[in-house]
Amino acid sequence: MSIQKFLMVILTLSAVLSLTACGNRPSKSASSTVNSYSTSPVQTSSAQKTTPQRSSLTTMGKFDHVKTGHEGSSRNQVFTILGKPDKTSKATKKGSNKGSTVYTWNQSQQKNISIDIVKNRAISKNVFQINSSAKITSAQYHQIKKTTHLSAVKQQLGLPAEEMVMGNKGPYSSQTIVYLAKNKQQSYTFNFINQRLADKTASTSKDKTVKSQNTHPIK
């Protein structure tokens, strides 16, 4: 299994867990939140009016400038930042994102950005940057405690190999970052709700299998 495919499996599982955690909160369901992205009227904020040109931004700069959620970037704003996509695909009929379109931009062989758009609004975004990412150890992984802020984790560990953002803010906003070990055979996944660490998992890739090594809640 390639590193990128391995990370995709890890991130997909993490996204499901994040949505499940959000669904357990005593308020409207995650699926209704996704629908609110689709049916809400288009709004233009002052930040969106000053969308930067793609040539002036790094890969992470482009990724950070794409907004997701209720007031997410429009399709045209995403294209202004990232340019013409290298790949376009439709989401499957199953799941809450039915009818969404996923656009992918290949920055290099092991660096790309994907944006999921529903009804002209970006609802989630994902970036791979395997070669330029920081490699961490098991000791570093175990040092990160529950409720730590996303920015603090990234500052402590460095650039993640993969990052996914869903929504914008509040209890239905989730972020996932994944780091690799130096041998690239183990990954460390950190799941956040509204920028605060909710859980983390260490996984290994061997003979096309993914084995969870830490399924216990963070203490």
> How does pLDDT run across 21-64, given as a tens digit for each residue?
444 443 333 333 333 333 333 343 444 445 555 556 788 999 99
Distances (CA, A) of 63 to 28, 87, 103, 158, 181: 28, 17, 13, 16, 24
> What is the tally of structural domains in the chain?
1
Count of beta carbons in the 10 Å neighbourhood of residue 65: 20
pTM above 0.95, yes or no: no
Q: Is the pLDDT of residue 154 over 80?
A: yes
DSSP 8-state code for residue 217: P
Q: Can you tell me the distance from the alpha carbon of 68 to that of 123, in angstroms, rounded to the nearest whole number? A: 5
| pLDDT of the residue at 53 | 54
Find where tokens 């609110």 sit.
Answer: 36
Distances (CA, A) of 89 to 22, 92, 101, 158, 164: 27, 9, 6, 31, 18
Q: Tens of pLDDT along 100-118?
A: 999 999 988 789 999 999 9
Q: Is the pLDDT of residue 197 over 60?
A: yes
Q: Give the pLDDT band of residue 3 (cuts 50, 70, 90).
A: low
Task: For residue 43, tell me if it sits in a domain.
Answer: yes
Judged by DSSP in three states, 60 sits in: helix
Q: Are 196 and 147 in contact (CB under 8 A)?
A: yes
Could you list the residue range(s) of the whole structural domain that residue 121 is in?
A: 3-90+99-212
Residue 105: both structure tokens together: 């931009």
Task: For residue 219, tell me if it sits in a domain.
Answer: no
Task: For residue 103, tell me if it sits in a domain.
Answer: yes
| pLDDT of the residue at 56 | 61
CATH of the domain at 176: 3.10.450.730
Task: For residue 218, tell me if it sits in a domain.
Answer: no
Pick 27 or 11 by higher pLDDT: 11
Q: Can you tell me the distance from the alpha carbon of 2 to that of 208, in angstroms, rounded to the nearest whole number? A: 9
Q: Is the pLDDT of residue 156 over 80?
A: yes
Task: Report which of 89, 194, 116, 108 is spatially closest to residue 151, judged by C-alpha positions.
Answer: 194
| pLDDT of the residue at 126 | 97
Task: For residue 217, tell me if it sits in a domain.
Answer: no
